[in-house]
A and B are shown apart, each in its own frame.
Chain A
């Protein structure tokens, strides 16, 4: 039996004030948004932190070994520590709310949520992060929740003793494989590139497992098969060759991320990847709107980088608001 952990965090904070004009609204509560919230609170800004969840992608990472101050910490524990630090300050926090639009309202900004609530802000920080990129192959969409998973840390325990495939041999894919090593029977790793692109420490752990992990490097997924649930995937060598069917019951897709920038489309400048373009002070193309973390064009998606960017965005927003005081 695995060691039990107990997380007190309720994720349910102090609600938002509808129609209220906040100094600063921070959209997203991953490492960037949570860090921005602490910095904003210490500047005594009238702040709302609004997000679907608390922790963002950190929650989906089982082990973190490169956030300074902790040799080793699980993603959920680090997120809980972030949240605990934010909760010490008297800011408004609305969890479970998704912001669907962001635009101007005179000199201020107006935001609306999926549940139809309206909020106003003098300044905004967009820190909405990224989400999993789909493979876009036949069978994938139909079999989501029927064996196709984008959350290895959530769903891995459901595949005890089963054969599974992990698509993607970067850090996320390798982490999923490490999680599955103690749970699944056999694990196939499929990637279009000729080898691992993950940190060597992860690859060493996987290679130590020997025969349990089979690799199909230089292969692409042709389709996912199954009627009511996944029964297998079909792969073939990139550039042509015979198709191979792998009889698996689970498919974990870890082929990268796409930015959650829909709310900014048509309002803020985005790059070709859909990321919000920011300058070195986290300023977007619209004065008064800042962005931080994985949703931006800042290179390298890391917890520690997102947290640093969040701090910078809050300080830039503060400087902007001081200049705007009326």
Chain B
């Protein structure tokens, strides 16, 4: 049985109509699929049926070790969203992007297809000052209505700056990470292990934290 019902499929077709470029979803799973691994893979495959610009490539975390390392995939389920010509903007999803985060996956696909971050001119300018790599982890739950704002902003920054990689991390699927970073409220954003905050901040405050983390 498909994950997406007919209503959702129609909405997705509308959202993804006229993608300006090709998108590849690299899905990482394993032979004995983990909790939500099968769902994550099926979700990517169902999306590719709804747009001829979306291609799916499924990898086994251990079997495709080199690929996993190249894209910094250390846990599953995972999706890396690549743009035209396999361009890696640094957009990652760890855990199934369902619930509210399904909208973040659709936004990521649209962004990767266009290569346009959609950030304000001020934020674009500010991000030019970023010289060091920043790894953003946005911890979410699938029932949190404010989380997609933080995830999508992190992904926008990843598209805008080659120094930024941005992960959505579904907290309940990775309890060891939730524990390690003290995630007791979502969204929780961790940047380079040194800057962290809770809540969906406005663009300017988010970018300020990002610059601080990259200093």
Contacts and interface: CB of A to CB of B under 8 A. Distances in A.
Contacts of B144: 151, 153-155
A314 to B, nearest CB: 24
Contact of A145 (B198, B203, B204): B198
A229 interface: yes
Interface in A283-308: none
Given A55-B145, A158-B178, A8 B12 contact: yes
A4 B172 contact: no
Contacts of B172: 157-158, 160
The binding surface of chain A is classed by DSSP as loop
Given A1-B35, A96-B149, A158-B183, A8 B96 contact: no
A8 B145 contact: no
B188 interface: yes
A53 B39 CA distance: 28
Contact of A158 (B99, B102, B185): B185
A137 interface: no
Contacts of A11: 103, 148-149
A283 B39 CA distance: 50
A154 B184 contact: no
Nearest to A116: B204
Contacts of B11: 8
B202 A154 contact: no
A5 interface: yes
Nearest to A9: B103
Nearest to B98: A4
Interface string B164-195: 00000001100100100011111010000000
A191 B3 CA distance: 41
B204 A115 contact: yes
A229 B152 CA distance: 28
Given A1-B36, A7-B102, A11-B103, A76 B171 contact: no
9 contacts: A1-B35, A5-B99, A6-B3, A6-B8, A9-B103, A10-B107, A76-B99, A157-B172, A158-B171
Interface of A: 1, 4-12, 53, 55, 59-60, 62, 76, 79, 96, 114-115, 144-147, 149, 151, 153-158, 160, 228-230, 250
Give 3 closest A-B pairs by Cβ, nearest first.
A59-B145, A154-B144, A145-B198
